[in-house]
Amino acid sequence: MPSNGSDSIKVAVRVRPFNEREKSKDSKCAISMRGNTTTITNPNTGETKDFTFDRSYWSHDGFRELDNGQLVRDGDHSPYVDQDRVFEDLGQGVLNNAWDGYNATLFAYGQTGSGKSYSMIGDKVNRGIVPQACGELFQAIEKQDSAKAKELQVSFSILEIYNEQIRDLLANKKQNLGAGTLKVRERGDKRFYVEGLSHHPCRDYATIKRLMKVGAVNRSTAATNMNATSSRSHMVITIKFSQIFNNEVGESTTKTSEINLVDLAGSERAKSTGATGDRLKEGSAINKSLLNLGTVIEALASGKSQKFVPYRDSVLTQLLKSALGGNSKTVMIAAISPADVNYEETLSTLRYADRAKKIKNQAVVNESPTDKLIRELKEENAKLLKMLSGHSTNGFDNDKIKELISQNELQLRDMSLSWEQKLEQARKEWEAEQQRTEQSINVHDTFPYMQNVNEDPQLSGVIKYVIRKGSTVIGRCQDLDNSRQKRIVLQGLGIQEEHCTLVSQDGKVTLKPLSRSQVTVNGDPLTRSQVLHNGDRLKIGSNALFLYIGFPEERTGDANVKKRYDYQFFQKELASKLAPSNNLNNNKDNQAAFLQMYMEYIELMPVVAGVNAMSEEMEREVEFTLQVKNLATRDEAGRDLPKDIIVRVKNKITNQVWIWSKTKFNNRRYMIEELYMNYQEDSTCLKGLTNDNDPFWDPVEDIYLGCAYVWLCGLAHYLHVEEQAAFYDYYGEEVGLVELKMAPCLRNGQLLDDSALVHDPSELLGKPFSCKLEIDRCMGLRWIKENNTRGVMLKYTFYNQHPSLQTQALWCTFNPKLNHTQQLIVDLVDKGFLQYLEECALVIELWGLQAGRNADSAEPNRDSGLIMMADSDFSSVPSSPMLDGQLNDFDTAEKEVALLRKQLQTTLKANEQLKTKCSALKKENKKIRKSLSCRDKLSDMRETPDSANRQRAVTSGTRVQAELGRALKEFFGDIRPVQHNLKIIHQRAPPNGDLKALSRDLDEALTNLRSAVALAVQIHKEERNTET
């Protein structure tokens, strides 16, 4: 027998294969293992970190699947570690410790989906540690030598911790009506126990299998009724193993071991909420258990004997006190994802496990004479009764003493029953349950039924509702009026008292929704009666998912229907109907990013539906809507902005709106779920809410509504820009218009006229630049049309100016007059600024204001109306070369006049060509606009037609101005030497009538050119405005 003493927690790490979501993201493996060392690589920097544990299990690849579904190594040299190897290394040790009389604990830690439950429970073929340990225990019991005269007793219990409340997963239906009310108590020896938790005696492994099935049914039912998904709850399985025998002196002795097998909630729930940007920093009780578990491990790992360990701060740590730093042999499995996209979560898990391995436990053999145990309990009871009747309570209040007495009496009654009596009692209960189960199985083979679908595969298909002939009502209301109406009672979110009916008649089942009920069939909302077919997917209320299995004759053609339609299929189908769809381009990076965002959208859909249902049931009048940020929004250069999931929150009474990030929403939804659970127990709990602790409330904030784009390429030619631009929201929907002007000017603010036209923007290099922005008014603002108490203001950033500039706030007007003027100055134009003018747009953001906002914190950034950009590092560009040589005589001048006339004819011809180009570009622009107007408008998760049309229109407009710029450049390239030579001739040659006529012709050509250019620009602006 092992000796008592200090023993460190044994830690093993196991990495799983990629899941479908990680494959869709084109994830790379960030984990490698050599021996017992696990290495993680930062995907951004390439930096590696090494962690050494007692075991490092590689289960990522190197395996193959047999016909029966079992996963095995694909070769003798494969590094793959299967379920049997994990049990041999870890589970068998737990059993050995139990036989020796030690308490033993094995718990799995890791983020949701990392493989914790697979290692602990597994599936029908690839059994995990729990079923293998139970099976091995009873095999060992059967092999025990009867000559030793040992009585071996095994009892089994399962509990679930959710939101700091405990549910007995093996309680009968009547007991489950009070689910969530079990309390943790403390014995006189400072050990914690769960008051009222049922312990079921087990004769064999088959009994444990049945109990585990009952636990799965109750856990799945709770997930449906309470919105308590398994990924956010802890499950604790306790196997109490007692060996009763006569010791060497003939005394009856009991050696007892408690084996605790713990499947913890997803470790991402343990994140502090302090970095979410949320005013409510504390999080909820749903996070409390794991947060406190981390605190306990940190305190124990520090090795400081005097350091306080906060076991009492959560239910989970109270129950794990023995396992952590106490009387237990403890093993921890850290389950990790291999994907680089989960780097932060995986690194956190590895650090957590690294701290846990430093914890020292003091395990002792639990062996005492049986008579002594009974005597001690009786003596303790007598002592407690004396304390209760007297005045000395040793610090215990009367209620506490009564609880201890009651618990001791229960233990005494339990010990007074022989093991055979307990088994006989359990046998009778199970026989009755087995009879019902067999009848149910036969019924499923005869009638159609609905079976539940859960995100946890182990909890899917464990609940089956039979649909008998006639009418069956689905809803919350039970048959209280003894009408004998067939009912399927569901307590889930968003389910009405009488929600819908199922009518089975003439070999068909028809589903009919009742008033105000939410029912979807195959992703489509159900508004009238519909005949169901085998494999139809049903969503009842907010989140209750069921797969319809038809009459036996319908099932023959599709044997894999149950396997095909899993939880992910349900959610993708709902998203395809309810969420914006996608139209990805061929860019692989964009596709991977979009798929990641799309999967996040799918995951949040049922969560948002559940929160909306809780809000409605508590009459909070707050509505939550999933949105995709930047779905159709681009930056100043026309590039797509990163897309993300956000949640729009609206108070339906005040019409106030907030925008929450995913992180903030997740933090708040835990608090809302906690509030909802309290509300179910006591509806008056809402009366004590204040703004400081109300998860539905936030201070008023300004809301981003959309943006408008004003392309700046005209300014690069010193052309005036006049726009009536549309504001577009994240989805490419128009939410208003803005009228503005941008014009080049001198530093003193004087506007430049058309004579300042620049044919080649590179001429601006090394020179100062100044322009004046005038924002006249906004029109047709949907934000104010919805509620005329609201206001708006505009924000914009010109080039590298920070912070952004703002207009004044204007309220309660649908078409506000802004009269905003701002002069923008750049000391020296460099190549970067010139590229900005030629290729970018001024992005003007429209922000919605709401009554009650903090005006001081949102005061516009307005100074004197003069904004200076940062100085450039540009060196001046040399001017263009002058004409070489001198004209020395009149003959030369005559020849030059003839040459100039020829050049003038060429120039006039170029002028006509320029007009033709402008006309052709105008026709092309009209043709493009006409083509775009014929396209159907699609509201989906791709580049929306509005944004696409706008982008094409912008591209067309940019092309018009670019062609115009090139034509101007060619013209001035021809005319510049003519002007220069003419000037020289005037200076050096005698007066000549032909020369004067040439000058007049040239001036007239230039005037005509300016008029043509101005007309072309004006026509283009009008077309843009008409299109808008």
Phi, psi of 816 (to 5 degrees): -70, 140
Residue 117 CA: distances (Å) to CA of 123, 126, 261, 334, 996: 9, 12, 11, 11, 97
Rounded Cα distance between 292 and 300, Å, is 12
Q: 492 vs 374, which has greater pLDDT?
A: 492
* pLDDT of residue 449 exceeding 90: yes
Report the pLDDT value the prediction gives residue 388, as an integer from 0 to 100.
62
Q: How far is CA 779 from the centre of its chain?
A: 36
Return the top range by mean pLDDT from 35-44, 196-205, 479-488: 35-44
Mean pLDDT computed over 851-860: 66
Separation of alpha carbons 694 and 500, rounded Å: 34
CA gap 773, 669 in Å, rounded: 45
In one-letter notation, the amino acid at residue 134 is: C
Rg (CA), the chain: 39
Report whether 732 belongs to an annotated binding site: no
In CATH terms, 447-578 corresponds, of 2.60.370.10, 2.60.200.20, 3.40.50.1820, 1.10.3720.10, to 2.60.200.20
Of 268, 162, 171, 290, nearest to 225 (Cα)? 162
Q: Which residues contact 344 (CB under 8 A, 6 or more apart)?
A: none
Average pLDDT score over residue span 126-134: 93
Q: How far apart are CA 56 and CA 79, in angstroms?
A: 11
Contacts of 211 (CB under 8 A, 6+ apart): 156, 158, 170, 200, 202
Rounded average pLDDT over 736-742: 96
The pLDDT value given to residue 864? 41
Amino acid letter for position 737: L
Amino acid at 925: N
**In this model, does residue 632 exceed pLDDT 90?**
no
Tell me if the bond preceding 803 is cis, omega within 30° of 0: yes
Does residue 553 sit in helix, strand or coil?
helix
> Could you tell me the sign of the dihedral formed by the alpha carbons of 362, 365, 370, 372, in that order?
negative
436: buried, middle or exposed (CB in 10 Å: 19+, 13-18, 0-12)?
Answer: exposed
With tokens 């004579």, the residue in question is 755
Under 8 Å between Cβ of 136 and 193: no
SS3 for 792? Answer: strand
Taking only the tens place, the pLDDT of each residue in 323-358 is 888 888 999 999 999 999 899 999 999 999 999 999
The pLDDT of residue 874: 27
Among the ranges given (132-136, 534-538, 557-561, 970-974), the one the predictor scored with the smallest mean pLDDT: 970-974
- The pTM is what? 0.70
Q: Provide the pLDDT confidence category of residue 370 given band limits of 50, 70 and 90.
A: low
Asked whether the predicted pLDDT for residue 411 surpasses 90, the reply is no
973 is in an annotated binding site: no
* Amino acid in the structure at residue 901: R
Q: Is the pLDDT of residue 553 over 60?
A: yes
The secondary element (H helix, E strand) that includes residue 483 is none
d(CA 793, CA 491): 47
How far apart, in whole angstroms, are the C-alpha atoms of residue 213 and residue 449?
Answer: 19
Check pLDDT > 60 for residue 264: yes
Q: What span, in angstroms and rounded, lies between the C-alpha atoms of 59 and 337?
A: 10
Mean pLDDT, range 361-387, rounded to an integer = 68
443 with 486: CB under 8 angstroms? Answer: no
Residue 46 in this model has a pLDDT that exceeds 60: yes
Cross-strand bridge partners of residue 678: none
Average pLDDT over residues 146-161: 80
Q: What is the mean pLDDT of residues 126-137?
A: 93
Q: What is the mean pLDDT of residues 20-29?
A: 85
Whether 818 contacts 808, CB under 8 Å? yes
Q: Which of 295-304, 460-469, 786-795 is the least confident region?
A: 295-304
User: What's the pLDDT score for residue 400?
Assistant: 63
Residue 174, annotated as binding a ligand: no
* pLDDT at residue 835 tops 60: yes
Task: Point out the least confidently predicted range of 26-40, 254-268, 462-476, 999-1013.
Answer: 999-1013
- CA dist 459 and 233 (Å) reads 13
Kindly state the average pLDDT of the residues 709-735: 92
Greatest mean pLDDT among 123-127, 187-191, 376-380, 996-1000 lies in 123-127
Q: Which residues does residue 450 pair with via DSSP β-bridges, in sequence order?
A: 465, 548
Q: What is the mean pLDDT of residues 783-807?
A: 91
Domain locations in the chain? 7-361, 447-578, 588-681, 703-849, 998-1027
For residue 109, what are its two tokens?
């830690």
- Stretch 902-914: mean pLDDT: 60
Return the closest-CA partner of residue 9 out of 54, 64, 72, 57.
54
pLDDT at 836: 94
- Residue 54 makes CB contacts below 8 A (sequence gap 6+) with 10, 11, 12, 36, 357
Q: What is the mean pLDDT of residues 116-121?
A: 92
Tokens of 6: 């200090």
Q: What is the mean pLDDT of residues 977-981?
A: 59
Distance (Å) of CA 325 to CA 321, 368, 550, 715: 7, 22, 54, 73
Between 186 and 858, residue with greater pLDDT: 186
Position 193 scores a pLDDT of 86
Q: Report the distance separating Cα 580 and Cα 582, nearest Å.
A: 7
- Cα 935–Cα 940–Cα 944 angle in degrees, nearest 5: 50
Query: What tens digit of pLDDT does each residue of 79-114 get?
Result: 999 999 999 999 999 999 999 999 999 999 998 889
Name the pairing type of β-strands 329-336 and 10-15: parallel
Q: Does 115 carry a binding-site annotation?
A: yes
Any idea which residue has 């850290």 for tokens? 334
For 642-698, the pLDDT digits (tens) are 888 999 999 999 999 999 999 899 889 888 988 988 888 888 889 888 888 899 999
pLDDT above 60: residue 168: yes
The interaxial angle of helices 285-301 and 343-356, nearest 10 deg, is: 50
Per-residue pLDDT at 541 exceeds 60: yes
Q: What's the burial of 67, exposed, middle or buried (CB within 10 Å: 0-12/13-18/19+)? A: exposed
Q: pLDDT tier at 810 (50, 70, 90 boundaries)? A: very high
**Predicted confidence (pLDDT) at residue 989 exceeds the cutoff of 70:** no
Residue 584 has what pLDDT? Answer: 39
Whose tokens are 């044997």? That residue is 559
pLDDT number for residue 482: 53
On whether the CB atoms of residues 978 and 1003 are closer than 8 A, the answer is: no
First to last CA, the chain: 87
Given a cut of 90, whether residue 192 has pLDDT beyond it is no
Tell me, which fold does domain 7-361 have in CATH? Kinesin (3.40.850)
Q: Is 116 annotated as a binding residue?
A: yes
For residue 851, what are its two tokens?
A: 């009554």
117 is in an annotated binding site: yes
Query: How many Å apart are CA 1028 and CA 711, to the nearest integer?
Result: 14
Contact 138, 95 (CB under 8 A): no
- Per-residue confidence band for 178, with pLDDT thresholds at 50, 70 and 90: very low
The amino acid sitting at 819 is: N
Is pLDDT at 991 greater than 80 in this prediction? Answer: no
Token pair for 1014: 């101005």
The pLDDT score that the predictor gives to residue 444 is 80
Mean pLDDT of 976-981: 58
Residue 110 annotated as part of some ligand binding site: yes
Burial 868-902 (b: 16+ CB within 10 A, else e): ebeebebeeeeeeeeeeeebeeeeebeebbeebbe
Q: How far out from the chain centre does Cα 470 lie?
A: 43
What was the pLDDT predicted at 623?
A: 96
pLDDT in tens, 923-955: 665 555 555 444 443 334 444 444 445 444 444
Q: Specify the DSSP element, H or E, that contains 411.
A: helix 398-416
* Cβ atoms 797, 804 nearer than 8 A: yes
pLDDT, average across residues 369-389: 63
- Summarize the confidence of residues 904-926 as an average pLDDT: 61
Count of beta carbons in the 10 Å neighbourhood of residue 1003:
11
Q: Are 247 and 369 contacting, i.e. CB atoms less than 8 angstroms apart?
A: yes
* Domains 447-578 and 703-849 equal at CATH topology level: no
Q: Which CATH class is domain 703-849?
A: mainly beta
Average pLDDT, the chain: 79
Measured in residues, the chain has a length of 1028
Buried/exposed 127-150: b ≥16 CB within 10 Å, e otherwise: bbbbbbbbbbbbeebeeeeeeeee
User: Is 706 known as a binding-site position?
Assistant: no
- CA–chain centroid gap for 357, Å, is 32
- Which pLDDT value is given to residue 942? 40
Beta bridge partners of 943: none
Highest-confidence range of 125-129, 309-313, 430-434, 943-947, by mean pLDDT?
A: 125-129
Closest CA to 581 of 940, 340, 883: 940
Greater confidence, 681 or 823?
823
Cα–Cα distance between 343 and 336 in angstroms, integer?
A: 10
Q: Which of 526, 559, 533 is nearest to 548 (CA)?
A: 533
Whole-angstrom distance, CA of residue 594 vs CA of residue 643: 8
Q: What percent of the chain has pLDDT over 70?
A: 68
Strands 165-168 and 151-162, sheet pairing: antiparallel
Closest CA to 115 of 157, 180, 58: 58
Work out the average pLDDT over 29-42. Answer: 96
CA torsion, ordered 352, 356, 357, 358, to nearest 10 deg: 120
Which string of DSSP letters, residue by residue, matches 737-769?
EEEEEEEEB-TTSPBP-GGG--S-GGGGTTS-E
